[in-house]
Amino acid sequence: MKKQTFSEKCYNILRKVPRGKVTTYKEIANALGTKAYRAVGNAMNKNPYAHAISPEAIRNRHSGIRGNSKRTNGFFLVACHRVVKSNGELGGFASGIKNKIKILKKEGVLVKRGKVQNFENVLYKFNNS
């Protein structure tokens, strides 16, 4: 069995964050037992699983049929847009902050002046952090 890279470990942790919730770079690092918050941010920036993907693409993955990965009404394999700074500020996003806000809004997360509103209520914490 191939050993997971740090980035793959980050993505596996992030997959636990449900729609409508956010987590932080620090929460992910803590869940991995490290203080490498910036390394988590770098992994999110290079996320190869970040594009919106349709439910049909997921179902057809195993049958060899390729789904339309450009559908925006699908979901994300690894939703890096759900990762924010520990103070609720948005942090970066590979396709731009405006896109991050738009996606979070679609999921019911309110953003005002670059910060997640009701941050403590929408913050997802991992069991071991």
Which residues participate in catalysis according to the annotation?
80
Pair 57, 74: CB distance under 8 Å: yes
Query: pLDDT tens-digit profile of 42-70?
Result: 999 888 887 654 445 444 444 343 333 33
Beta bridge pairs of residue 52: 76
Domain-located, residue 63: no
φ/ψ of 116, rounded to 5, equals -70, 125
Contact indicator for 101, 109 with CB cutoff of 8 Å = no
Can you tell me the distance from the alpha carbon of 28 to that of 10, in angstroms, rounded to the nearest whole number?
7
Q: Which residue(s) pair with 76 in the sheet?
A: 52
Containing structural domain, residue 22? 6-48+79-113
Inside any domain, residue 33: yes
Q: Are strands 115-116 and 111-112 parallel, antiparallel or unpaired?
A: antiparallel
| pLDDT recorded at residue 76 | 66
Q: CATH no. for residue 105?
A: 1.10.10.10
Q: Is residue 60 in some structural domain?
A: no
Question: Residue 49's pLDDT is what?
Answer: 81
Would you say residue 89 lies in a domain? yes
- Within 8 A by CB and 6+ apart from 84, the residues are 22, 23, 24, 90, 91, 116
* Confidence (pLDDT) at 63: 39
Q: Using CA atoms of 35, 38, 41, 45 in order, give the dihedral in degrees to the nearest 10.
A: -140
User: Tens of pLDDT along 3-46?
Assistant: 999 999 999 999 999 999 999 999 999 999 999 999 999 999 88
